[in-house]
Every structure is written in C-alpha cells, then in structure tokens.
Amino acid sequence: METGYEPLNVLKPIGPDIWIVDGPAIRFYGMPFSTRMTVVRLQNGDLWLHSPTVFDESLAAALRAMGQVSHLIAPNWIHYAYVAEWKEAFPEALTYAAPGVAKRAKSRGVQISFDHELRAAQAEEAWQGEIEQMVVQGSRIHHEAVFFHTRSRTLVLTDLIENFEAQNIPWWMRLFAKPAHILAPDGQMPRDMRMTFRGRYNRLRKAVETMIGWAPERIIIAHGRWFDSGAVAELRRAFRFVLK
C-alpha cells in the first residue's frame, strides 16, 4: 500500500541532528494511516526515537551507524505498538510512555513494560536542555507528550494535528476527512479527540500557547503532511477552535 511518503523506513534529514522516518500505513478504524517516526541525535551521540515506526533491520543498521539507540518514546496512548520490537533489538535502550499508555497496552493484552512515565511539565534528565517536553492537559483520554527540539526549532507532535492529503487516501476516507478536520491543508485536531477536551479547552489553550512560545519553525506530525515552515502560523490555524 503506497502512503505517498515513499521511500519508507529510511532516515530523512530535516535539520541539524534530526531526521524523520516515514513508515508503512497502519489500519486505524479501518482507515489507512501513514506513520512517521522522529529521530533526534543528542549531543552525547545518543539517539532518541519518537513514536517508532515498524522495526526494520536496515533502518536499525543505519541508526547503529549514527549513534546509540538510547531512548524509545511512546508519546500517547495509541502510539506504542512498535516500541517492544525496537526494545528487543536495542535492549539497552530505555522506554518512556505518556500517561495512560501502560494501562491501554495491558487492557489489550500487549506485553510491554516501560522504564519511565514521561513527566508532565519537565524534560527527562537525559535530554534536558536539548528537548523541551510537556504533556498536554485537558483531555479525559488523550494525554499526549509533545516535544520541542531546540537546536532545529522543531515541534514534535503525534496525533494532536492530523493532516491527510487527498491524493494519498482512498476516496471514501476523503468524504469524512474534511468534516473530521483532518484534511490537508487545513488538518487540525480530529473531531473525536476534540470531544475528549470538551469543557476543558482552557487547559488545551494553555498548552498551545506554550508551544507557540517555543517559537518553532517546523512541526512534525505522525499522520499526513508535516509542516516544514511557518510552524507558529500553522499552530494558530490548526488550534483556532481553542485560541481566542
């Protein structure tokens, strides 16, 4: 299945010490969702893998040549599926999960344990000073950890913005992508996720304001077209439903 982001499972440099990997599509509620991982090389050479895509041996070899795979991040309750495969290949790597991930994995019978739960308002020591970190508050279900790689001025989101391009999705998915708010170029927070923030938009707004305050230049997202420039304007556009 083509995703529109080929080649897949290869490192694509997007800035200093930061790469993306476009992975194969997964099925989510029957829909094909393209996947994307972000890789950051920390100053000590350690590699930080955010929302790992499916394990791939040649990709693993490319990473080994670049540094030590040290940190595997499951940034929200849905994005943990491939962490175990990467941990198996890199047993010395530490695993980190957003709040709710461990519970969700257990409820689905997935055997995975995490070394750390990601802190809500402070980066882990291992990447402090290089990557900012915050768990977005306000949702009853979706607790997503978001990151900002200072050196490349890149905001790393997962599902908070989804931005599917019409030419990359089946016709039947196009029909509801727009009402679901996830159709490029105006991809935003999906409608169903928005409902989990109902009555608590003030907390979401605060998180968006913090992200804007980081003054990012680009935004990586897991699904659909990411934003290689104009990040602050894109945040204002995508979160206009919550900003004043």
Surface-to-core class of residue 128, CB atoms within 10 Å of its CB (0-12 exposed, 13-18 middle, 19+ buried): exposed
DSSP state of 234: H
Contact code string over 160-189 relative to Fe ion, x by CB under 5 A: ------------------------------
In angstroms, give the least distance from the CB of 146 to Fe ion: 13
x-marked contacts with Fe ion along 146-165 as a string, rule CB under 5 A: -------------x------
Smallest separation, CB 87 to Fe ion (Å): 20
Q: Is 144 in the site for Fe ion (CB under 5 A)?
A: no
Site for Fe ion in 39-58 (CB under 5 A): none
Question: At its nearest, how many Å lie between Fe ion and the CB of residue 174?
Answer: 19
All residues at 6 or more sequence positions from 96 whose CB lies less than 8 Å from its CB, including other chains: 71, 72, 73, 74, 114, 115, 116, 117, 118, 124
| In the complex, minimum distance from the CB of residue 237 to Fe ion, in angstroms, rounded to a whole number | 20
Provide the total of helices (H) and of strands (E) in the chain, helices listed first: 7, 11
Q: Output 132 or 159, the one with its CB closest to Fe ion.
A: 159
Token pair for 32: 């094909």
> Which residue has the closest beta carbon to Fe ion?
159
Closer by beta carbon to Fe ion, 159 or else 234:
159
Q: Which residues contact 55 (CB under 8 A, 6 or more apart)?
A: 82, 85, 86, 88, 89
Interface with Fe ion (CB under 5 A), residue total 2
- The CA distances from residue 224 to 19, 46, 182, 214, 229, in Å, are 16, 28, 9, 23, 15
H/E run at residue 41 = strand 31-41
Q: Which is nearer to Fe ion, 30 or 91 (CB)?
A: 30
DSSP code, position 136? P
Identify which range of 37-45, 96-104, 184-192, 215-223 contacts Fe ion by CB under 5 A: 215-223
- Which residues would be at the binding site for Fe ion (CB under 5 A)? 159, 222
